[in-house]
Structure 1
Amino acid sequence: MTAGRRAVVVGGGLAGVTAALRLADAGVRTTLLESRPRLGGLAFSFPRSSPVGELSVDNGQHVYLRCCTAYRWFLGRIGGEALAPLQRRLDIPVLDAATGRAGRLRRHAAPVPLHLAAALATYPHLSPRERLAAARAALALRTLDPADPALDGADFAGWLRRHGQSPRSVAALWDLVGVATLNARAEDVSLALAAKVFRTGLLSAPGAADIGWARVPLGRLHDTLARRALERAGVTVRTAVRVRALHRLPDGGWRVGTARGEAPGAAGTVVLAVPQDQAARLLPAGALPDPERLARIGTAPIVNVHVVYDRPVLRRPFFAALGSPVQWVFDRGEAAGLGPGSGQYLALSQSAAQRDVERTGAELRARYLPALAELLPAARAARVRDFFVTRERAATFAPAPGVGRLRPGAHTNAPGVFLAGAWCATGWPATMEGAVRSGQTAAREALARLRQPHGDTPGESASVPPLNA
């Protein structure tokens, strides 16, 4: 097989695994190189020896929506659909620590936008006037085109103010959803990305925002099952291999230089599915017209607080909080392997966590345990058997106004070299969906260059599969 029919994918996160699968499925001999000892990128699991026994801990809580058609394709491709099911219907319990009131954001089977009308009309965390204003803003949001370059330079908070949204409405509704999906608050979010999230997730189809999450450790999906799928497809997977450089060969191919000199052989296609700073270091000179722009794509942190109580304190699988430092709380006991009668393991997902990421474990314990007790009365009498924190300082790219014009496409000016990663120009924020879509796009462009039929790229349809309403 010639170098032109060989590919090397650098990076074993969702983008890299997707690109490798698509290339191999099209008959390209593919090698995947990952610097870590496992696959999964920033959505992974690790073992923890806890006072309650051995746990398999996710570094962070990751969810997807029914409208995430590319990630749903990915789950199906690796055989993991049943392990990360979707809600039958969107249902988000929302607890307000300041008032003690509980509410829900729950959809009905009515057509858009009536599917959320009843939930908004009875949402106790907004006044009647705020609910009416929120409905009007949602209708106005439907008229925006996320692909409009003018929206990229505007901030979401300014648009919300111009459409009559009070600070309480922003906190109790728009940021409740936006912080979790965009990893930034409205004032720090590009209007284009906000429009993409809310139009696609809440205003495209009745069930578009139904939530899915893994009922097993993420490592079982993104490492174990993904590796198995890659190997079945004929991909050579090599972990703990750090790529240092790309070298152009006289015949026009590429040699991938590694830290220990373990070159995988000449390749006609290279996909760099790594964070933007690593891509900038690896790209050959002239590969991008403005390579410095990659350094201008900021990053944003996420902190996850993990608490194991000696008894059950939460009856729901998850909830969102208002009037509290707590954002979203998930019951992860069964997924992590917590034995029956061993208590309850809760994971707190804290996005836009620029302050928390610098706090010590002791400071976070003092901040979040009382906040949980305020939200969950049963936690007040419970004993904490384990407490620990996971931090991702560069969990996502920062969705700031203007980021759209900085995000590159998959194509580069270096023949045969392509980019993938959630930070690329997918139109989506930094989500698992965006990562998979970027891998699909990189593979599609690589196959087009090879004049290799690639069929339809799965998951890119704007439509949402039929619902069991």
Structure 2
Amino acid sequence: MNRGQVVVVGGGLAGVTAALRCAELGFEVRLLEARSRLGGATYSFVRGELVVDTGQHVFLRCYTAYRGLLRRLGVADSISMQPQFRVPVLSPVGRPAVLRRWNLPAPAHLAPSLLDYRMLTVAERARVARTALALRRLDPDDPALDDISLGQWLRQRGESPRAVDALWGLLAVAALNAEPGDASMALATKVFRTGVLDSTDSADIAIPQVPLGQLHGDAAHRALLAAGVDVRVRCKARTIHRSGTGFRIPVRDGVGDSVLTADSVVVAVPHRAAAPLVADLPVPGVAEWGRLSAAPIVNVHVLYDRPVTGLEMAAVLDSPLQWVFDRTAIAGATRGQYLAISLSAAQEHIHARTEDLHDLFVPALRQVFPHARDAQILDFFVTREPNATFRQAPGTAAIRPPARTPVPGLVLAGAWTATGWPDTTEGAVLSGTHAAEVVDLDQRSQRGVEVTA
């Protein structure tokens, strides 16, 4: 039975999740996406023979909600999950090392690896182990932790600059898209506790084995249509107005301007786009959303004429490189080897010329992969995501809004909302599920009021 009309604005992971769940709950759902595709910030494009993802996305075994969405989309078999967390760590100035977990109860599962981590001195390793135990006792929901940065907290614990760079920052920058000195300690605590310290297998890394456009966009479109959702791409919501107990949503699509009506609206777009949509509604804190700002990610793509490394991925220290991934098979390359360099917190590179990035990163690759010195580069290009995440700095917890607004039926979703998680695929999916639950509760409440009256 139709329980009312829901319009979901935004076709990223949060919007897709909200739309699917609302459809399952019996609502008539329309999903609006301004772009020609679904998937939000995760998408692919074709360059020559390569299918290129704009950014390299990985996730962890603890991303249970996101993994559930992949199952719902029918693409759970399109990812490769490590049987055990293992990250090779390279450096042009020293011997390589490996971070990995052991089959021991948490947090002892990391102790052998930390105590053998040759990127740090013996004294630094011992201090890191003590710091990890102290971090495990912290509560990520403690508001006081959002007042300080991860870097501040680590300095208070006596961590050396080398330990911050070679271990804590190695993981935190990738997870939070922020340097330790700029990252909220509350979010860092969530990352390290849920993602690394609390469970033995939580940090096992999964990598999509198909392009993101196929994993998210195409699969989501099929699943939404099968669920009966009216999917409208190239359809931009201009604003949202209250109309009685429901809403009017002026939209613009390829045909022209029109107005949709709905009993409930889920706003599942980034904070910059969400604010003007709800500007005419009594939603508190909208003016503060801009303070979430944005943090960039840059990806440098290099196609060699021959294989230069046997590693699927590696972290790199003492180098402009951060993380390097072998994308050869995933992108459909038929010759050579295609590597992608993922650079988080990439403010210094976001506006750099491609030629300058070539001159910086090609020699850096040769330093850590000796076989690259004799290889020819068939293609070199750069993708930039200026607004990859919100800026996950101290003080952001007070700005991130909850799903429920004071306007009955108006619900917020997105990784930028108050999910308790950093800006991740897991946070996006959790927000979409929660948004659908709020829609359901609001509609039940409204029906109850009407029956009582």
SS in 2 for 1:110: coil
The one of 68, 71, 91 equivalent to 1:73 is 68
Question: Contact 1:287 / 1:413 at 8 angstroms: preserved in 2?
Answer: yes
1:298 maps to which residue?
A: 293
Question: Once the 2 structures are TM-superposed, how far is the Cα of residue 226 of structure 1 from its aligned partner?
Answer: 1.0
Question: Contact 1:39 / 1:227 at 8 angstroms: preserved in 2?
Answer: yes
Aligned-partner Cα distance in 2 for 1:219–1:287: 36
The one of 388, 395, 405 equivalent to 1:412 is 405
Show structure 1 runs of 5+ residues with no match: 453-469
Question: Which runs of structure 2 are paired with 1:381-460 in the superposition (5 Å)?
Answer: 381-451=374-444
Pairing 1:16–2:15 present: yes
Question: Contact 1:112 / 1:206 at 8 angstroms: preserved in 2?
Answer: yes
Aligned-partner Cα distance in 2 for 1:121–1:134: 9
SS in 2 for 1:171: helix
Question: Once the 2 structures are TM-superposed, how far is the Cα of residue 48 of structure 1 from its aligned partner?
Answer: 1.2
1:58 maps to which residue?
A: 53
CA shift in 2, pair 1:31/1:7, >3 Å: same
Give the AA of the match of 2:147: G
TM-score by length of structure 1 reads 0.93
Question: Which runs of structure 2 are paired with 1:313-392 in the superposition (5 Å)?
Answer: 313-339=308-334, 342-392=335-385
Q: Deviations over 1:375-408 (max 9, x none)?
A: 1000011000000100000100111100010000
Aligned-partner Cα distance in 1 for 2:438–2:258: 24
SS in 2 for 1:426: coil
1:139 maps to which residue?
A: 133
> Moved runs in structure 1, 4+ residues, more than 6 A?
none
SS in 2 for 1:345: strand
Question: Contact 1:98 / 1:324 at 8 angstroms: preserved in 2?
Answer: no
Question: Once the 2 structures are TM-superposed, how far is the Cα of residue 241 of structure 1 from its aligned partner?
Answer: 1.0
Percent sequence identity over aligned pairs? 51
Question: Once the 2 structures are TM-superposed, how far is the Cα of residue 264 of structure 1 from its aligned partner?
Answer: 6.5
1:195 maps to which residue?
A: 189
Question: Once the 2 structures are TM-superposed, how far is the Cα of residue 47 of structure 1 from its aligned partner?
Answer: 1.1
CA shift in 2, pair 1:9/1:264, >3 Å: farther
Give the AA of the match of 1:411: R
Question: Once the 2 structures are TM-superposed, how far is the Cα of residue 219 of structure 1 from its aligned partner?
Answer: 0.8
Give the AA of the match of 2:227: A
Question: Contact 1:255 / 1:263 at 8 angstroms: preserved in 2?
Answer: no
Give the AA of the match of 1:123: Y
2:158 maps to which residue?
A: 164
SS in 1 for 2:240: strand
1:211 maps to which residue?
A: 205
Give the AA of the match of 2:120: L
Question: Once the 2 structures are TM-superposed, how far is the Cα of residue 263 of structure 1 from its aligned partner?
Answer: 4.1
Pairing 1:179–2:141 present: no
Question: Contact 1:47 / 1:57 at 8 angstroms: preserved in 2?
Answer: yes
1:455 maps to which residue?
A: none
Aligned-partner Cα distance in 1 for 2:363–2:382: 16
Q: Deviations over 1:142-166 (max 9, x none)?
A: 1110101111111111110111210
Aligned-partner Cα distance in 1 for 2:36–2:285: 33
Aligned-partner Cα distance in 1 for 2:283–2:262: 20
Aligned length: 443
Show structure 2 runs of 5+ residues with no match: 446-453
Pairing 1:222–2:237 present: no
1:7 maps to which residue?
A: 6
1:116 maps to which residue?
A: 110
Q: Deviations over 1:154-211 (max 9, x none)?
A: 1111110111210000000000000000000110011100000001111111000000
Aligned-partner Cα distance in 2 for 1:47–1:112: 43
Question: Which runs of structure 2 are paired with 1:84-99 in the superposition (5 Å)?
Answer: 84-99=79-94
Aligned-partner Cα distance in 1 for 2:273–2:362: 37
The one of 240, 263, 269 equivalent to 1:268 is 263
SS in 2 for 1:160: helix
Pairing 1:148–2:147 present: no
SS in 1 for 2:80: coil
Q: Deviations over 1:78-97 (max 9, x none)?
A: 01111012100000000012
What's the C-alpha RMSD, in Å, of the aligned pairs? 1.3
